[in-house]
Amino acid sequence: MAKLLLIALAVLVALALLLRWRRPVWYWLSFGIVLAVVRVRFRYAAVMEACHLTVPASRMRRALARWMKKPVPQQRVPRLLWIRPTRTGLRLRIRMWPGQDAFEFAAASDRLRHSFGVHQVTSREIKPGVIEIALTGYDVLKRVQMPATTERDLLKIPLALVEDGSVHYRDYRQVPHSITVGAIGTGKSVTQRTLIKELASQPVALVGIDCKKGVELGPLARRFSALVDNPDDAADLLEALIARMEVIYDVIRRAQRISADTPDAEIAANIWDLPEDLRPVPIVVTIDEIAELALSTKKNDPRRDRIVKALVRLAQLGRAAGIFLDIYGQRFGSELGDGITMLRAQLTGRMVHRVNDESTAKMAFGDISPHAVFAAIQIPNERRGMAVVGYSTGEWVRIRTPHTTMRQAVAACNKYAHLVPDIPELARFGPLLDLAPVRAPAVAEAA
């Protein structure tokens, strides 16, 4: 009997080790959670003490213990309010003692990770005095698996997994305009595809500028209301979007005038405050490779100036009119010429894939956090699709997008082609559907 039990135990251990190596998600869900909960429950106080996250006992308690002739308490451990297992790790809610702050826990993340034997630890203050620590059981970014159920809302797209196992959303209503930079082949187009694939099923208009001859966005054209592949058309298209924006502002103004005369009526400040029958369809504009639009060999290039001026206006005023910008490029800095710094200030969403030089990361995060700059340079070469996202609050996270293939994105765009809305101002920029037959490029004959 004992022999049988021993064999069963050995098989179980072997299975756990195999799963841990080959299928970390299954390992976590079968063995990892239980072991981690037990470890945290038993070692919590010792770990807090070892990580210097305790505070001395109050004078009153020490005096009381002395008076009652009991052992004098030395340190107080912050109270563990609850432990919650998740798909990828554990969350601990902790009440800090007076005198402790969130920074101490953030600074101790590495020590906590080591002491609890988990892959990673992050922490954030939930409310004054209460901190939530996220323990990640395994390297969730190694193979990205998005949860089966994510929040789905208009213009809120589950874009990637965060390293603590949570989902990173691209929420256009919260962060209307964004810039995504990264070196060649680091995953910008896949990020773009993931967003478009998810947006395709929503009641929004998609507009694209792809001056890499439409290679990235061309195959998705059936779901686009407007798509251009050269800087001349891009300048016209951006000005048409401004014309559209002005029409929408007129609608908002007229609605304001009507509601101003109606007591207690809501005064509209943007398209979301308008009644549904008046609300214009939101527009998401994707621009692939900003350098193709903004970089010019001429000193005063009127076309370039038109483009940058239009982009700055859209970024400044587009939000209320429901016009959102997603700009992609290998770099995004003053070397692209006048007006780019002004444009960058309006693009509050910042995402950086692996970059080769610090200056590119600084362009994106210099005004957010020096730690984010460092994290962007540290992204390993083989982790394509991994990126750092920074927020204007100074916070930043590491994320990785799922590998959306062009086939998946094309299938979604074709499936929802019937959702392309009619936008009169954009009608003349019909998507690039009429391609000439494919021929191999001519090759000079050998002499």
Ligand X SMILES: Nc1ncnc2c1ncn2[C@@H]1O[C@H](COP(=O)(O)OP(=O)(O)OP(=O)(O)O)[C@@H](O)[C@H]1O
Give contact residues for ligand X (rule: CB under 6 A).
182, 184-190, 330, 384-385, 400-401, 403
Residue from 366, 353, 343 nearest 293 by CA:
343
Closer residue to ligand X, CB minimum distance, 165 or 385: 385
Check if the beta carbon of residue 27 is closer than 8 Å to that of residue 20: yes
- Does residue 2 have a known ligand-binding role? no
In whole angstroms, the minimum distance from the beta carbon of 343 to ligand X comes to: 20
Residue whose CB is less far from ligand X, 44 or 365? 365
Burial of 355 by CB count in 10 Å (0-12 exposed, 13-18 middle, 19+ buried)? buried
Q: Which of these, 281, 285, 192, lies nearest to 241 by C-alpha position?
A: 285
Q: Is 187 labelled as part of a ligand binding site?
A: yes
How many residues are present in the chain?
447
Does the annotation list 369 as a binding residue?
Answer: no
Decide: helix, strand or coil at residue 171. Answer: strand
How many CA atoms does the CB half-sphere of 77 hold within 13 Å?
Answer: 12
| Shortest reach from residue 180's CB to ligand X, in Å | 9
Annotated binding residue 294: no
Tell which residue, 221, 187, 224, 212, has the closest CA to residue 293: 212
The number of helices, as runs of H, and strands, as runs of E, in the chain is 14, 16
Structure tokens belonging to residue 213 = 């001859």
Contact in structure between 146 and 161 (CB atoms under 8 Å): yes
**Min. distance of Cβ 169 from ligand X in angstroms?**
16
The nearer residue to ligand X, 218 or 322, going by C-beta atoms, is 218
**What minimum distance in Å lies between the beta carbon of 340 and ligand X?**
18
- CA–CA separation, 62 vs 55, rounded Å? 13
183 is in an annotated binding site: yes
Closest CA to 425 of 256, 298, 245: 245
Lookup result for tokens 């990637």: 160
Smaller CB separation from ligand X, 56 or 185: 185
| Minimum CB distance to ligand X, residue 253 (Å) | 40
Distance between CA 80 and CA 84 in Å, rounded? 11
Main-chain dihedrals φ then ψ at residue 367, nearest 5 degrees = -90, 5
CB 317 within 8 A of CB 245: yes
Least distance in Å: CB of 184 to ligand X?
Answer: 4
Tell the residue number behind the tokens 């990173």, with chain if given: 168
On whether 218 is known to bind a ligand per the annotation, the reply is no
Minimum distance from CB of 351 to ligand X (Å)?
A: 11
Write the Ramachandran bin of 129: left for phi over 0, alpha for psi from -120 to 50, otherwise beta. left
CA–CA gap between residue 64 and residue 129 (Å, rounded):
26
**Is 32 labeled as ligand-binding?**
no
Of residues 190 and 245, the one with the C-beta less far from ligand X: 190
| Closer residue to ligand X in complex, CB, 137/182 | 182
Residue number with the shortest CB distance to ligand X? Answer: 385
Q: How far is the CB of 342 from ligand X (least distance, A)?
A: 25
Residue 392 labelled as part of a binding site: no
Decide whether 170 or 384 has the Cβ nearer to ligand X.
384
Closer of 75 and 408 to ligand X (Cβ):
408
* Residues annotated in a binding site for ATP: 182-189
* Residues annotated in a binding site: 182-189
